[in-house]
Structure 1
Amino acid sequence: MKQIKTLLFDFGDVFINLDKPATLKHLAQFGITKLSPEQIEKNKAYEVGKLSSQDFISYYHTNLKDNNASAEAITTAWNSILLDFPLQRLEFLKELKKKGEFQLILLSNTNELHISWIKEHVNFYEEFKSYFDAFYLSHEINLRKPNANIYEFVLDQHQLKPEEVLFIDDTKENTDAAKSLGFHVWNINPETEDVTSLFKTNQHLF
């Protein structure tokens, strides 16, 4: 009997490629070389929708040593983490949807500025979104990984058993949290692995 009934995917570095150090590199031109504890908390607050994009940009503007930094420059720095979305991953997802063997859910820590950039630069974003049975973004549901309540939210929303879910995420902290709740997990390494090898890598679960 098949063990996995639901595939729960992260977005960044699973489907869309990221350059995680890029934002800090860009912020360095404004005098920020390391995020302060306060800035980290502001970023988390923005990720769960507690700050508007305008307030988030204003916060950074007032905290930069270079107060001449425009909202556009701050936004560009913030979005520099986002790279390309390889088409083979979209095709892989499309085939998964077509076969209909699994419930497909996306669960991403993200924010309004990043999603706005993706909508503008990834011309198949709406198609991508349409292949999921549910599409959860942290700033819209006011929850973020690795907090247990975000995984419990998904389980409750879809009446899922954690042992029947495979969660795919590139951040070990996130997969560790899910694993502790009984999920099967694949902590994907974006440098050496690709989501398109999902079944090959996790053969034992299927």
Structure 2
Amino acid sequence: MNKVLLATRNRKKLVELQRILDGALGAHRVALVGLDEVEEYPELPESGLTFGENALIKAREGCRRTGLPTIADDSGLAVEALNGMPGVFSARWAGGHGNDQANFQLVLDQIADLPDAHRAASFVCTVALVLPGGKEHLVDGRQTGRLLRSPRGDGGFGYDPIFLGDGQDRTNAELTPQEKDAVSHRGKALRELAKLVAKVLPPAS
């Protein structure tokens, strides 16, 4: 089995990616480990100005520190009326890191006066795969939609409760994990990643 580092401490991301990789490649092809399961190392700040730059910062450092093929993603919400923000600052838009409710409430407050026609937004995800030896790969995924005026649903994470994807009648937080995988920015990017993994990592013995 191929052991691969996912450079995150977010257990939900680990479960999500493992589920998608298992579905695309077959179970037991890849075993993901998170940062909590390897020897601790200082994490570099996400100083990039794009999702791709931030994903590569994390993946390069994880690969260098552990010697494992390393996957890292950076993703966020791009609101048209906010000129594409919060973008790479999505996880800390309200000041602290990872306070989902504070982050999406601030976005809602910032566009409170806008009519529905002007509440377009996209979820964007870029995933990096860095291999021992230096080869690097980037894949992208995007989900377009609009922002509601109040949250709905208690699934998912981040801005899912206020995001209604195009063609959906439920927010991302109201979808089952499998339904979300099929339409989300991360699901799209990770399926492209699975194609890469199938090419660059050997079959399980």
* TM-score above 0.5, yes or no: no
TM-score by length of 2: 0.32
Higher RCO (C-alpha 8 Å, min separation 6): 1
Larger strand proportion, structure 1 or 2? 2
